[in-house]
Chain A
Amino acid sequence: KAGVTQTPRYLIKTRGQQVTLSCSPISGHRSVSWYQQTPGQGLQFLFEYFSETQRNKGNFPGRFSGRQFSNSRSEMNVSTLELGDSALYLCASAPGQGSAYNEQFFGPGTRLTVL
């Protein structure tokens, strides 16, 4: 089975711009979670989608949004980028009923740099 894929792998944007990141989960997984990883902060939970519905949301401003499509692919969008948004954004998919009950499988991440 192919693993979790994320595109693009690297992005450079300037402050005030917006960005859309994409994640394709492992085939058959209906749960997709997004995390922001920064040095010293570990992984900060952004949101989890399950069968096109947002199941959980982390403590991030409304500039961070996401969605999931009927084929379980997910996108996250960050509007009005700030310097502090520079990070590695990780996507993870999980089988069955999702991350609360199962192992998560992580993608390689998208490295976002905001200048």
Chain B
Amino acid sequence: AQSVSQHNHHVILSEAASLELGCNYSYGGTVNLFWYVQYPGQHLQLLLKYFSGDPLVKGIKGFEAEFIKSKFSFNLRKPSVQWSDTAEYFCAVNAAGGYQKVTFGTGTKLQVIP
């Protein structure tokens, strides 16, 4: 069974700082990867996803993530954060092929200070 680790539980950054949130998964086969975001008072929504192809994936609001298969990682990045990026970020994975469940990480709370 797959599992997902998000090592940073709480990150505090100043506006304009660069962001990188770590996500590592454990599964030996081919995977699909997701980042979801939950803004305060809002529903979880998709930021970006990787199914195949270019390992550098661009999402909404200037976010991107890079799939590094050899490191089992799918880190989320943004070059310059804004106060409006304050939210909780969840990495998720599922085994590709068939109809495998999606496993979420425990989330990283990002607080951006103006």
State whether B99 touches A98 (Cβ < 8 A).
yes
When distances are taken between beta carbons in the complex, the residues of chain A under 8 Å from B51 are 101
Number of interface residues of A (CB under 8 A): 28
A7 interfacial by beta-carbon distance below 8 Å: no
Q: Is the CB of B105 within 8 A of A56?
A: no
- How far, in angstroms, from A108 to B100 measured CA to CA in the complex? 24
Q: 0/1 per residue, A11-44, Cβ < 8 Å to B?
A: 0000000000000000000000101000011111
Smallest CB separation, A58 vs chain B (Å)? 7
A100 to B34, CA, bound (A): 11
Q: Are A45 and B104 in contact, CB atoms less than 8 angstroms apart?
A: yes
| Count of inter-chain pairs, beta carbons less than 8 A | 62
Q: Cβ of A104: which chain B residues have Cβ within 8 Å of it? A: 36, 44, 46, 102
Tell me if B101 and A58 are in contact (CB < 8 A): yes
B43 touches A99 (CB 8 A): no
Chain B residue at minimum C-beta to C-beta distance from A55:
B99
B73 within 8 A of A: no
CB<8 Å pairs between A and B, sample of 27: A3-B43, A33-B101, A35-B104, A40-B9, A41-B106, A42-B6, A42-B104, A42-B106, A43-B104, A43-B107, A45-B101, A45-B102, A48-B101, A50-B99, A55-B99, A56-B99, A56-B100, A97-B99, A99-B94, A100-B94, A100-B98, A100-B102, A101-B32, A103-B49, A104-B46, A106-B45, A107-B43
The chain B residues found within 8 Å of chain A, CB to CB, are: 6, 9, 32, 34, 36, 43-46, 49, 51, 90, 92, 94, 96, 98-107
A interface residue numbers (CB < 8 A to B): 3-4, 33, 35, 40-45, 48, 50, 55-56, 58, 90, 92, 97-101, 103-108
